[in-house]
Copies of this chain bind each other. A is one copy, B any other.
Amino acid sequence: MKPPSPTQLRDLGEDALIRRLARGLPAGHGVVAGIGDDCAVVRPVGRGKFEFLKTDCVVEGVHFHPSARRADVGWKAMARVVSDFAAMGARPRHALVTLCIPPDRPLEELDGLYVGIRRAALRLGFGVVGGELSRSTGPLVVSVAMTGEARRWVGRDGGRPGDLLFVTGRLGGSGSGRHLKFQPRVEEGFWLAGRTGVRAMMDLSDGLGSDLPRMARAARCGYVVNAGEIPRHRGVTIPQAISEGEDYELLVAMDPERAAPLMRAWLRRFPRLRLTAIGHLARPGGVWLGARGVAPGWDHFARDP
């Protein structure tokens, strides 16, 4: 008789679990020692390049509903970090995944997460070189750390009064499921960071209403937004497009004198993704023209209104 196949995490040991999860995961470039040793060992990024470091996490009940497909949760956990690299013009390189998970969860939950993690690694172009499994008494937590690389990059603080503000794609309505399946704008961010005239970038994770004030504050200036110009997904109101968050589109501040040729080049390079002017940076203070009932974006620790 064959032994029954294991169905819960505690039926497999930690080492067997790690071997199971590592199957089929790409390790990426320059890896000298990967999963299985105390640390991963990699060759550093090439001369003249910068290294990027970022960590983020998704928590069950906060960043995803307990009933969400686990492959989508795995994708989201990785894609959020890749979006932060995209926001500076960097490409992802190596990832480490830490899971905190109750031991009575079914094995298929972990397998599902890794379907999404593997898909993200293959499509977004990074390797998974390590991680950690811990049991927990609370919600499932997927914590991701990644390294990235770029020769040129753009921070969020380079804007100046008068710079035009653009967003990629359309905003709002992420709660309907898009927040689990979004495409981080890696190639777009990389391309933008290489263009003269792009002065500041960030990704819209907490919503334009929270993130634009951050970009303005970092540059010690204010902003004027023509709310009617904000590109929205179908059925999304202006306040929703400003406040919901989890858009993972890019917010870009551009030298107005460079904006016209940049837009033409964008249209040639990315004909299927819109890049829309929504306003400009200004003297300190924020103005939302044509927006009523705008609430600020997401704050993890703010009191409920």
Interface residues of A, Cβ cutoff 8 Å to B? 9-15, 17, 32-33, 36-47, 49-57, 59, 61-63, 84-85, 87-88, 90, 94, 96-98, 100, 103, 129-139, 141, 143, 145, 147-148, 153, 155-157, 202-203, 214, 218, 299-303
Contacts and interface: CB of A to CB of B under 8 A. Distances in A.
A134 B300 CA distance: 6
19 contacts: A10-B302, A14-B300, A14-B302, A32-B50, A36-B218, A37-B155, A38-B85, A38-B88, A42-B52, A44-B50, A53-B129, A53-B130, A55-B98, A55-B132, A59-B138, A98-B145, A100-B141, A100-B143, A133-B301
A14 B301 contact: yes
B55 A90 contact: no
B139 A301 contact: no
Contacts of A50: 32, 41-44
A155 B301 contact: no
B52 A13 contact: no
A199 to B, nearest CB: 14
Query: How many copies of this chain does one complex carry?
Result: 2
A134 B133 CA distance: 19
Contact of A143 (B52, B84, B98): B98
A35 to B, nearest CB: 11
A193 to B, nearest CB: 12
A88 B301 contact: no
A74 to B, nearest CB: 16
Interface of A is mostly: mixed
A45 to B, nearest CB: 5
A83 B96 CA distance: 17
Contact of A54 (B13, B56, B88, B96): B96
A13 B299 contact: yes
Given A15-B214, A136-B141, 16 more contacts: A13-B299, A13-B301, A13-B302, A37-B88, A39-B148, A41-B50, A41-B51, A42-B51, A44-B44, A53-B129, A53-B147, A59-B136, A59-B137, A96-B145, A135-B300, A136-B139
A9 B15 CA distance: 37
A49 B45 CA distance: 11
Contacts of A94: 53
Contacts of A130: 53-55
List the 5 closest pairs (A to B, CB-CB), nearest first: A138-B138, A145-B145, A143-B143, A55-B96, A44-B44
Given A41-B88, A137-B61, A137-B139, A132 B100 contact: no
Nearest to A217: B15
A154 to B, nearest CB: 10
